[in-house]
Each structure stands twice: as structure tokens, then as C-alpha cells.
Chain A
């Protein structure tokens, strides 16, 4: 959260720099079957974010020490391609990617019916090829679609979306400019059919009222995104 709120990001009509209202999402497109050699895959664009996710498995879990006798394990890798950011991202180990991989895994393990595939592994590779803001939400949402595309049984798909605060006004789905001056960020992973959560992070500064508003924006947005996800999967099945 680099900003101090001294730059005017919302005009007198309550419109944002890209013309959106406070609760509006950036444009979203979802496509399945984009990695032909994978068991399931998804390409999702969200603003100028672009994530490509491939799912492999269930397959043999290697090395054997990661195997679980009673369930499958998820091997989730979130990564940003070197050309995905304004300044080139050096390939290799980085703590941010490790953390996002872990929380994404924790979210998805909450919905995948792991006990159906004992001793096996399901690999989920999330590659961000273009980053704007909110890549962890794009990655997690696209991973849910890729799992569904691979036919992996789940109790529900996870829809991930973030709201935040700029110029003391709570808004949904911050873009890159807004994120640079943002005062808070609340990403959530929502199960649209029950309204329950499997992923939650927050940083910044929100009053109780602002927090409630951000929470509600995310809940409403999740249903809009969920429709895109279902539409993409239906389209994939027709082909």
C-alpha cells in the first residue's frame, strides 16, 4: 500500500479513473482447453491480467514421502512469467510466489474431494503471463475452472475477488493505478453456492463500516464472476 491518498482517483460523480463505478468489475474473459497436453486448463483475462492454468492428474505422487494414505495431495505452483510485469521479473525462487502458492493450495484443498484419490497427486500450475493487480485472485479463480475442466470432483468452485480503498472510498476490484495508491486490500475466496469462504487475506487500514462494505462488494462480485465461469465451462463442453 504505497499511497497516501493525495492523488485524486475518484471524480466528483463517483467514477473511477477507468470510468467504473465503485462496485464494478474490470472486464473478464474465460476460456477452457487452452493447454492441449494437460488434463484440464483455463485462460482467464481480467483487466490486463492474464493467467493460464493447467491441471495434471490425479497421478502418482512423487516423491513417496508426500503421499497421503487416505487422500490426494494438491501440488500448486503460482508463478509470474518474466515478461508479466513492467520491470522484468527474475525467474526463480521468491517468497511472494511461495506464499500465494500455499494459500491457493489451502483454498482448493477445501473444495476438491481429495479422499476419492488416495496416494495420488493433482498438479495445478498457475502462470501469470500478464500482471495488472489482483493476480492471486485471477490465479485462484482460473485454477477452479481448470480443475472443473479436468473433471476433478469438487463441492463448489472457488471465486476469488478483492476490494479495497482509495481516497477513503471503498471500491471493488482495484486496477493497477488504483492499487498503487490503494489504502487497503481485501482479497477473498468465496464459494458462490453457499456464500462460505476458503481464502481470506487483508492488508491496509479499514474501519468496521468500510470493511463490511468491501466484504459485501466481494460477495456480490463473486456471483457475477461465477456466471462467467459456468458459461466458459458450458461452452467448453459443447465443442
Chain B
């Protein structure tokens, strides 16, 4: 991703808005954009979802491969999660090998899903030591108007929940739904104009500072955290974010349950 010039005017404008407790698109500090989730949208994927949050649009697609289990874990299959942000998604994204930003995106989403234990990797074993399913979750951005993290995480878990293991095509039994026992949800916060806001749009990301990503499970347990970009935050600020995330993750979970 090319680093765009950040106009000082934009930063000044965002600070001014923050003083009056408003945001560049008129939202409340903790208000998310309108969010829509559709599943089974990609005919060639074994599970898929499309998420739109305001003008941010992403796809998630699930594919399966047969792998040989790792020798130290002969009874386990695997989960692989990768994120791609190609030039279609915005004028600052460039072609070529994945940028550090795209790699961070994929890894943070991956950790939230993996560590929640929502996929029982032992259930992916076909023949111990010989054959197991590898679940591949591909996250793909179509339009980046900020907060790809939350859009990817939501599309990712929605796609996994809709996935069907294509056992008949690989001639290893009958097709069956992929068991997904939990619903981890991510909420992201950006410091804009000196205070944290939820679900930043592109201009807020451009003129903002550090960001914090929180993934919470059904029971409110914490599954992944990430602080990104340059900036300093306090325990009090984090507590405030966590309180909001506890409520918001439940609202988003209702969208896909």
C-alpha cells in the first residue's frame, strides 16, 4: 500500500470535530455504519459471505484441500486464513506481493477465529496420519472505505458457518456441513482527533493515529488483541473500548446467527 500524504487540514478538521464530539460522517463516537451480511454468494466456494459496512465491501470464500497431517499432530486438520487487498479496493492499494498491511489484516483475523476454537481441528481428520481437511479461508476486499479488519472478520466467520465439506468431490465420504461451534466477532477502534472512535471510515483512518482490534467470543471471552500504528493509550481508554466491544460484538453476532 502506498502511504498517502495526509493533509494537515484533514487532521485539524478531525480534531475540531472531536472537540465538538462529532465525526466526519456525522456519526456518534460509538456508532457503527449500517452493516449487511449475505451468505452463499460465491458459486465456486464451499462457503461464502459478502459484508458491506457503509461503503466498505468485502468477500470471504472457503475452499477445502486434502492435506497430510503434521507428524506431531496426526489427528488434526488445519485452518489457513489469508487476506488480499488488491488495487480494485482503493486508489492507495497497489498490485504485487502482499503488503505488510494486508498481512497484518489476515493474521489478526486468523488469530481471532483460530484461538476461539470455533473449528474442531480433530473433526477435520479423515485418516489419522494420512489424510485430513485443510480449511482455507480467503478474505478479499472489493471496496475499502475503512475498517477492513471488522468487515473481514465478520465475513470470515459467516463464510465458515455456511461452509460444506466437499467430501464427495474428493471421494472421501458424504458432504457435510463444517462444524463451527462458536462465533468470534471483532470490533476495531481508531484514535481520531485525540479520542477513540468505533468503526473508522477511510478519512478517519487517514487522519487518525493508533488503532486497537478486539475479538470476543460468545461468552465475552477475549480471543485476540492487536494494537496497530504509532500511538500511546491508557488503561482507562482501553477499559472504555472493552465495555463498548462487549455490547457491540453481541449485536453483530445477532446478524449472522
Contacts and interface: CB of A to CB of B under 8 A. Distances in A.
A37 B86 contact: no
B57 interface: yes
B95 to A, nearest CB: 6
Nearest to A84: B44
B44 A83 contact: yes
B55 A88 contact: no
B140 A82 contact: yes
Interface stretch (A4-12, A105-113, A124-132, A193-201): A124-132
B65 A92 contact: no
Interface in A75-97: 77, 79, 81-88, 91-92
B87 A83 contact: no
Given A36-B57, A83-B138, A130-B44, A88 B63 contact: yes
Interface string A161-180: 00000000000000000000
Chain B interface size range: 20 to 34
A36 B143 contact: yes
B44 A35 contact: no
Interface stretch (A51-59, A208-216, A219-227): A51-59
Q: Does more than half of chain A's interface fall in helix, strand or loop, or is it mixed?
A: loop
B62 interface: yes
Residue in A35, A53, A85 whose Cβ sees the most chain B Cβ within 10 Å: A35
B90 A82 contact: no
A125 B89 CA distance: 9
Nearest to A79: B86
B36 interface: no
A38 interface: yes
A107 to B, nearest CB: 19
A195 B90 CA distance: 35
B62 A123 contact: no
Q: Which 3 A-B pairs have the closest CB atoms?
A: A83-B61, A125-B88, A36-B55
Given A83-B138, A87-B63, 11 more contacts: A37-B145, A38-B88, A53-B88, A54-B143, A77-B86, A83-B44, A83-B59, A83-B61, A91-B84, A125-B87, A130-B42
13 contacts: A35-B88, A35-B143, A37-B55, A81-B84, A81-B138, A83-B44, A83-B59, A83-B61, A84-B42, A85-B44, A86-B44, A125-B88, A126-B88
